[in-house]
Structure 1
C-alpha cells in the first residue's frame, strides 16, 4: 500500500509494520492506526485530522514537519520514543497510558493535553504551555515550572514533588 501523496478518510490501519514508510504530502482524516509500528516514518507535510494511534510503536517521528493546519491526533496505550513534538500546537491532545521516552516538547502548545497514566522518562518540556493539562498518575516527568507555563495543570502525589527538582532545595 502506498502512503506518499495519498489521501485517506475513515480508514483503520491495523497490525501493519510501517517502518521507514513515507507519509509525505499525505492526508489522514478520521483514521485509526491500531497495533502498528510507525518507526521512522517521514511526516513531511503530512496532514492528520482526528487521527488516533492505539497500541502503536511511534519511534523517531518528527511531528514538527507535519502540516499544522487542523492538526489533531490522539495516542493511547502506545510506546512513543525519540519523537519531536516541538514548535507545534497539540492542544487537547491525549497521550493516555503511553510510554513517552526521550521525546521533545519544546515550544509546544499543550493546553488541555492529557498525559494521564503515562511514563515520560527522559522527555523534555521547555517553554511549553501546559495550562489545564493533566499529568494525573503520570510518572518520570521532569518539568521546570520556571521554563514552562503552568496554570490549573493537574498533577498527582507523589510525582508532583518532582516539580521541585529545578530548585536547589532539600526535602527531608
Structure 2
C-alpha cells in the first residue's frame, strides 16, 4: 500500500512485530495501540496523535514525525537518532521516555510536559527553545548540548555542566541551581 492514509483513527490495534503498511499517515489518531518491536522505518506521520501507545523496541529508521503529539505513551529506550530530521516536530505530554536517545539530533522548540526522562541521552543534541515542564531528568545526559533559551524552571533532578553545554538565556529556578553547580561539590541550602 503506497497511498497515504488520511484522517483515520486506529484504536486498540496491535502492530507488534509488524511493518506499517502505508508510507504516510496524515492527521491520524492512534489510541491504545501497541507498537512493540514494530517497524515504522521510512514512514511519515503528519499531524498525527499517539495516545496511550506503547513503543518498546520500535524501529524508527528514517521515520518522519511532523507536528506529532505523543500523549501518555510508553517509549522506554526509544532511539530517535535515526529518525528523519527534516521538519521534525513533536510534543510529548505525560510520556515515559526513560533510557531513550536523541543524541546528535536537532529538535528545537520541543515541548515536554510531565514526562519521565530518566537517563535520556541529549549528547550533541540541539534543544534550543524547548520546554521541560514538570519533567524528571534524573541522570539525563547533557554533553555538548545546545540548550539556549530552554525552559528548565520546573524540571527536576537534572545535572547540567554549564562549561560543557550551551545554555545562553536558558531559564532555571533557584531550586534548580544545585543541578548546575553539582560538579563543584557545594552545599546549597
**Does the pair score TM above 0.5?**
yes
Query: 1:53 — aligned with what?
Result: 70
Deviations 1:108-141 (A, max 9, x none): 0010000111001111011011110001211011
Report the equivalent of 2:49: 32
- Distance in 2 (CA, whole Å) between partners of 1:55 and 1:162 is 27
Tell me which protein shows more strand as a share of its residues: 1
Bigger Rg, which one? 2
For structure 1, the 5+ residue unaligned runs are none
Residue 39 of structure 1 and its aligned partner are, at CA, apart by: 1.3
Match of 1:70 among 87, 109, 112: 87
* Cα distance in 1 for residues equivalent to 2:131 and 2:21: 30
Please list, as runs of the form range in 1=range in 2, the aligned pairs for 1:70-149 lying within 5 A after superposition.
Answer: 70-149=87-166
After TM superposition, what 4+ stretches of structure 1 lie above 6 angstroms from structure 2? none
Q: Contact between 1:5 and 1:23, CA under 8 Å: does it hold in 2?
A: no
Alignment: residue pair count: 172
Could you tell which deviates more after superposition, 15-24 or 152-161? 152-161
| RMSD (CA atoms) | 1.4
